[in-house]
């Protein structure tokens, strides 16, 4: 099937790798074929694609030096284009583990600049990557701890409201919180808005 697929349609190949990951089946010869398709389409891959592919490879415990080196080079080239919170978070998570020290410092300084613009999910992704890489940048750690502490304050407030709620109330509450967390960054700027 893979041999008959259009090699420029790497999203199909990514779907095949995702399927292998879903069934927890790591067949190396097949993954090597998929990897060749990705390597042929490096210029078409963006931060999100690299992030997904590297995550799938990690789940399947498939380490391919050629792809990792190419991903590292391409993601390093994309640093200057990832100025929005979504793409930066994906870039940070994908590149920081394999980046050279100078690149790590660039990523950390950008993470510091963008911290106020990240929602709690993005901030948590950055913090998890920092933890995995044993980040020692105290300024960055303090900045993200402050942001995540606002979320903790909010959760404590929610805990007080939840016990008397029925299932319908809980559903409405969950929908409202989800929309708020996805769309509103104002709660990060002052404690009183929490």
Distance from C-alpha of 93 to C-alpha of 47, rounded to nearest angstrom: 10
8 A C-beta contact, residue 194 and residue 186: no
Tokens of 83: 């100025």
Predicted pLDDT at 72:
93
Predicted pLDDT at 70:
93
Predicted pLDDT at 155:
67
In sign, the C-alpha dihedral spanning 30, 36, 41, 42 is positive
8 A C-beta contact, residue 132 and residue 97: yes
Predicted pLDDT at 38:
92
Distance from C-alpha of 79 to C-alpha of 126, rounded to nearest angstrom: 15
Distance from C-alpha of 72 to C-alpha of 126, rounded to nearest angstrom: 18
3-state secondary structure 16-76: HHHHHHHCCCCCHHHHHHHHHHHHHCHHHCCHHHHHHHHHHHHHCCCCCHHHHHHHHHHHH
Say which residues have a Cβ less than 8 Å from residue 39's Cβ, sequence separation at least 6. Answer: 66, 67, 70
* pLDDT < 70 positions in the chain: 1-2, 7-8, 150-152, 154-159, 161, 173, 177, 180-194
Distance from C-alpha of 53 to C-alpha of 46, rounded to nearest angstrom: 11
């Amino acid at each position: 099937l893979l041999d008959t697929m259009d090699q420029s349609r790497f999203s199909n190949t990514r779907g095949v790798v995702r399927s292998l990951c879903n069934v927890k089946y790591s067949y190396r010869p097949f993954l090597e074929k998929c990897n060749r398709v990705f390597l042929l389409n490096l210029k078409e891959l963006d931060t999100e694609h690299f992030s997904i592919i590297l995550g799938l490879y990690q789940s399947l415990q498939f380490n391919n030096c050629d792809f990792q080196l190419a991903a590292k080079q391409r993601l390093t080239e994309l640093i200057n284009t990832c100025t929005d919170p979504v793409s930066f978070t994906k870039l940070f998570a994908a590149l920081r583990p394999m980046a050279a020290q100078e690149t790590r410092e660039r990523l950390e300084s950008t993470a510091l600049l963008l911290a106020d613009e990240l929602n709690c999910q993005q901030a948590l992704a950055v913090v998890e990557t920092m933890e995995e890489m044993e980040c020692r940048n105290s300024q960055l750690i303090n900045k993200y701890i402050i942001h995540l502490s606002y979320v903790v304050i909010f959760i404590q407030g929610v805990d007080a409201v939840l016990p008397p709620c029925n299932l319908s109330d809980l559903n409405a509450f969950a929908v409202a919180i989800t929309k708020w967390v996805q769309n509103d960054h104002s709660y990060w700027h002052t404690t009183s808005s929490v």
